[in-house]
Structure 1
Amino acid sequence: MENLHEVIALKQASLDLRPQGHPDRSMSLNNLALCLSTRYKQLEIMQDLDATIVLAREAFLPRPQGHPDRSTPPDTLARYLCDRFRSTRQLEDQEELFSSYAQAFELREQ
């Protein structure tokens, strides 16, 4: 577990080096979100899942048409929202996760 805490600190430092507008910021946001999600699944610290969702929302940038990962951000956000909905049963999370899955599907079709 100590290694995961260290990785999270390094991912946060990496994100701090990529301000708004940096071409790799979305990747850093996603990497940190994945690590926090992993820690949430191991320790069930709700703040980790909440932070994961905030990061995933920020990473929810449209990618150009034809990009192979065009639908990944909304699909990933939906999975995190689904995790939180399972824990909290907040209808807002359920509504947003359905919307995110729908957006991911639309982006795959384009």
Structure 2
Amino acid sequence: MVHASVILGVAFSRRFERLEELGDIKHAIQNMQQAVDLTPDGHASKAAQLGNLGGALLCQFDHLGDLGDIEHAIWVSQQAVDLTSDGHANKASWLSNLGRALQHQFKHLGELEDIEHAIQVRQQAVDLTPDGHADKASLLNNLGVAFEHLGELGDIENATSTYQQATANKSGPHSIRYHA
């Protein structure tokens, strides 16, 4: 039952990305929440299921603007991070998702602690990702965007330095390096 809920949730989420019918993202969230609820604590896939749910909630927030969605996304994303050891291959991804959710909340509420926390977790994601990894440029670019939100000279300098690192990362996609 858990596996079916995960597959169905991901399918609805992908269909929503293409067609943008709100019923699809709602079904995705329902199925992903069911998978989380049915998975016992301590199970190896629990963090991944929480990460998927956080992404779907953030997607729904982007379309509806309901702050409850972003708060829930932050909560489940933090759980995914907490359940994952630093050496795990997906830890940087979960940290990046948490940082993205925190940035969205900062944009809507303007709470400085949200962007500071976003920078902290995005920096962690960069630090956990080895040089030469295909995702490193994207993680650096995301960190640069987070720094920009603060607008102080030191933060702009940090953003510039981070963007320079992203452009120099030859293993990252050209589109990400160009954007940086």
TM-score range (shorter-chain normalised) is: 0.7 to 0.9
- The answer for unaligned runs of 5 or more in structure 1 is none
RMSD: 1.7
Q: Which has the higher contact order (CA 8 A, sep 6+)?
A: 1
Q: Cα deviations across residues 22-56 of structure 1 (Å, max 9, x unaligned)?
A: 11100000010000100000111110000000001
- Report the TM-score, using the length of structure 1 for normalisation: 0.86
Query: 1:8 corresponds to which letter in structure 2?
Result: I
Which structure 2 residues correspond to residues 14-93 of structure 1 after superposition, within 5 A? Answer: 14-60=80-126, 61-64=129-132, 67=134, 69-85=135-151, 89=152, 91-93=153-155
AA partner of residue 64 (structure 1): G
CA distance in 2, matches of 1:7, 1:103: 29
Q: Which deviates more from structure 2 when the two are superposed, residues 21-30 or residues 91-100?
A: 91-100
Q: For the residues of structure 2 that align with 1:25 and 1:37, how far apart are their CA atoms? A: 18
Question: Bigger radius of gyration, 1 or 2?
Answer: 2
Gaps of at least 5 residues in structure 2 are 1-66, 173-180
User: Per the alignment, in what secondary structure is the counterpart of residue 86 of structure 2?
Assistant: coil
Aligned to 2:70: 4
Q: Percent identity?
A: 24
TM-score, normalization by structure 2:
0.54
Aligned length: 104
Q: Give me the whole-angstrom Cα distance separating, in 2, the residues matched to 1:57 and 1:99.
A: 13
Runs of 4+ displaced beyond 4 Å: none
Structure 1 counterpart of 2:159: 97
Distance verdict in 2 for CA 1:10–1:96, change over 3 Å: same
